[in-house]
């Protein structure tokens, strides 16, 4: 969940490293550091806090400006609190080794004891320093061999970049369960844990596979696996520009990404809907109509926001296709020995394509013989490569930690999947055409909600001082309630819970009082009248109720205390405008509370450890 950048080539390394760290700060922002070659040694500079603190420190280090090889890191703490001592890079004790690392070394305690017994002194509480000393202890002039031997003793996950003073201009990188991408330039290579750090310099990239180790000097690459010889990994082109990862005049990335959703959804839908045949074109699934009609079950796995999107997919696939669908929390999937059959399709949802728990679920499903597809945003990501089939979102980079456009693009794809599965079964062409039109309307529905941004900001003023909130909904609105509560707690630090509206009477209603507002999804659709009944129960206990209601629904507007309206549309597509309304609500509450919206405390964008 941290950010790695490394550079080798003809240019000064420091500007490349620092610009890369700034782009990766959404992956970790509690400390940062760099290590660069000098004639005498590898010089390391580290600072607690954000990258700006490191920049201040480096203002006093002009002797580092000519170095042309270095590594850098921005941290999201796992082992040990955010301190300068725990920041990366970490140095090996004797041989002039410096190392940065993402992931978790599970057997670090045993390795620490072993290294301590032979004289290594530890200055930090991290598992990464253990790895640095281990490589140092095995180094005999060949960094590739030292890292290879070290990793054979390691249990856990890693994305690593390491350098040795005795091998100038050389980087050695490796990965297992934590992404590493190599950006290919003229006589240079930029290494990163995320393509956003290299896109300013090149769009040509090689994504390492698990257990790859690469030796890099300038533009010379030697990629091999930890247990065999040289391998060839194909280069691919990053399908978005550097400008897409900038704020573009918005106060926060999150607000920019909320307002990018109409275009993001258009990009997700582009070329994938057949109006004449009333069908979806999802060739990446690699399933024929016969295979689709033979599906026994669709099993959707994901975590957090992706799991909430999966719940919408579950409802839509069962409603329209009549196919049994289930959603599994990806972290539980492999540990509970799930029953999976060859006639099951497992859909793994992950914005980054690197989520550790979801990737583990993918591998378990493959081992059990299921059809497995990925629904990811990042081209070339591990889930995309290992599934070999699936659908890219094409939503563009999502920098803010709190996911917005990835969720709405995921739901858009899942609705198309429901349509495709349904057309392979009993859905008529005429009904398919109607559903195509409903899906095509999604961008304009979102635009209508975005036009109410100022109104939603005024509503947010009434809820800014609350410390707890409940979100309730039924049917398709239940996942929206979960996602709305998640957004509010992520960025405003208000305790928020999402519930099925029927669950209120089964315990949560005991917590309702004047200081606990309820956000009720009571727009038009099945179950609305029952939700309005729940609203009355909340008000009877002094809770203020903010309703998400359909435009023109005077009954609902009169029932709730405050309201935000969304356009009239079918329940399965109303998920997206309702979610966008809650995104804006959460954003404005967090803004008014003065929160760090793009980099909320304790969170990081890509969860690459279990």
Active site residues: 2, 605
Strand order in the sheet with 390-392: 324-329, 297-302, 344-350, 371-376, 390-392
Contact 63, 45 (CB under 8 A): no
Beta bridge partners of 184: 189
Torsion angle of C-alpha atoms 34, 113, 121, 60, degrees rounded to 10: 10
Alpha-carbon distances of 19 from 6, 23, 198, 238, 256, rounded to whole Å? 11, 6, 9, 18, 21
Tell me the C-alpha distance between 368 and 176, whole Å: 22
Residue entry with tokens 């006639």: 343
Q: Show the tokens assigned to 82.
A: 């955010």
Tell me the C-alpha distance between 433 and 424, whole Å: 14
Tell me the C-alpha distance between 451 and 438, whole Å: 20
End-to-end CA distance of the chain: 11
Please state at what angle helix 305-316 crosses helix 477-492, rounded to 10 degrees.
170
Contact partners, residue 558, CB within 8 Å, separation at least 6: none
320 CB neighbour count, 10 Å cutoff:
23
Closest CA to 538 of 555, 515, 557: 515
Tell me the C-alpha distance between 18 and 6, whole Å: 10
Tell me the C-alpha distance between 87 and 49, whole Å: 10
DSSP state of 320: I
Q: Is 462 helix (H, G, I), strand (E, B) or coil?
A: helix
Contact 393, 406 (CB under 8 A): yes
Kindly state the helix (H) or strand (E) to which residue 146 belongs, with its residue range.
Answer: helix 143-151
Tell me the C-alpha distance between 269 and 244, whole Å: 19
DSSP state of 193: S
Tell me the C-alpha distance between 42 and 91, whole Å: 9
Kindly state the helix (H) or strand (E) to which residue 71 belongs, with its residue range.
Answer: strand 69-75
Pairing of strands 170-176, 181-184: unpaired
Kindly state the helix (H) or strand (E) to which residue 350 belongs, with its residue range.
Answer: strand 344-350
Alpha-carbon distances of 84 from 61, 77, 95, 97, 187, rounded to whole Å? 17, 12, 22, 18, 34
141 CB neighbour count, 10 Å cutoff:
10
Kindly state the helix (H) or strand (E) to which residue 563 belongs, with its residue range.
Answer: strand 562-566
């Amino acid at each position: 969940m941290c950010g790695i950048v490394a550079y080798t080539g003809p240019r000064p390394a420091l500007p490349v490293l620092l610009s890369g760290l700034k782009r990766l700060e959404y992956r970790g922002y509690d400390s940062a550091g760099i290590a660069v070659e000098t004639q005498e040694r590898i010089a390391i500079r580290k600072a607690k806090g954000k990258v700006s603190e490191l920049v201040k420190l480096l203002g006093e280090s002009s002797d580092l400006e000519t170095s042309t090889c270095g590594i850098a890191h921005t941290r999201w703490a796992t082992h040990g609190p955010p301190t300068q001592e725990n920041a990366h890079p970490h140095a090996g004790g004797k041989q002039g080794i410096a190392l940065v690392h993402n992931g978790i070394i599970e057997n670090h305690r045993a390795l620490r004891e072993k290294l301590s017994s032979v004289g290594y002194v530890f200055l930090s509480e991290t598992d990464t320093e253990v790895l640095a000393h281990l490589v140092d202890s095995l180094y005999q002039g060949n960094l590739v061999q030292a890292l290879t031997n070290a990793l054979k003793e390691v249990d856990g996950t890693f994305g690593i970049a390491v350098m040795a003073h005795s091998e100038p201009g050389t980087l050695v990188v490796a990965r297992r369960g934590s992404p590493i991408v190599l950006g290919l330039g003229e006589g240079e290579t930029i290494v990163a844990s995320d393509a956003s750090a290299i896109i300013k310099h090149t769009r040509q990239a090689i994504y390492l596979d698990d257990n790859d180790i690469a030796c890099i000097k300038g533009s010379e690459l030697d990629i091999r696996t930890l247990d065999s010889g040289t391998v060839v990994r194909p280069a691919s082109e990053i399908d978005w520009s550097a400008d897409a990862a900038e704020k573009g005049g918005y106060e926060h990335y999150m607000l920019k990404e909320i307002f990018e959703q109409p275009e993001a959804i258009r990009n997700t839908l582009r070329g994938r809907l057949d109006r004449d045949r009333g069908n979806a074109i999802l060739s990446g699934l690699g399933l024929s109509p016969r295979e689709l009609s033979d599906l026994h079950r669709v099993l959707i796995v994901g975590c957090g926001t992706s799991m909430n999107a999966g719940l919408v997919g579950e409802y839509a696939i069962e409603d329209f296709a009549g196919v049994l669908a289930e959603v599994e929390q990806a972290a539980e999937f492999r540990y509970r020995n799930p029953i999976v059959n060859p006639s099951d399709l497992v859909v793994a949802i992950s914005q980054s394509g690197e989520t550790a728990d979801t990737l583990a679920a993918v591998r378990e499903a493959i081992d059990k013989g299921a059809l497995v597809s990925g629904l990811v945003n990042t081209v070339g990501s591990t889930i995309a490569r290992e599934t070999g089939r699936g659908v890219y979102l094409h939503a563009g980079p999502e920098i803010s930690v709190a996911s917005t456009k990835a969720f709405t693009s995921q739901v858009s794809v899942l609705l198309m999947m429901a349509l495709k599965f349904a057309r392979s079964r009993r859905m008529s062409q005429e009904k398919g055409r109607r559903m195509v039109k409903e899906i095509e309307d999604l961008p304009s529905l979102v635009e209508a909600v975005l036009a109410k941004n100022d109104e939603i900001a005024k509503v947010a003023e009434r809820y800014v001082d609350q410390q707890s909130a409940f979100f309730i909904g039924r049917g398709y609105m239940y996942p929206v309630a979960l996602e709305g509560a998640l957004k509010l707690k992520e960025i405003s630090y208000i305790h928020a819970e999402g519930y099925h509206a029927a669950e209120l009477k089964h315990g949560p209603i005991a917590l309702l009082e004047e200081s606990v507002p309820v956000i009720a999804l009571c727009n038009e659709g099945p179950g609305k009248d029952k939700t309005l009944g729940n609203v009355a129960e909340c008000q009877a206990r002094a809770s203020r109720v903010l309703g998400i209601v359909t435009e023109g629904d005077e009954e609902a507007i009169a029932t709730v205390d405050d309201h935000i309206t969304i356009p009239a549309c079918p329940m399965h597509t109303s998920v997206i405008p309702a979610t966008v309304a809650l995104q804006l609500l959460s954003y404005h509450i967090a803004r008014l509370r003065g929160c760090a919206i793009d980099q909320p405390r304790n969170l990081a964008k890509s969860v690459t450890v279990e």
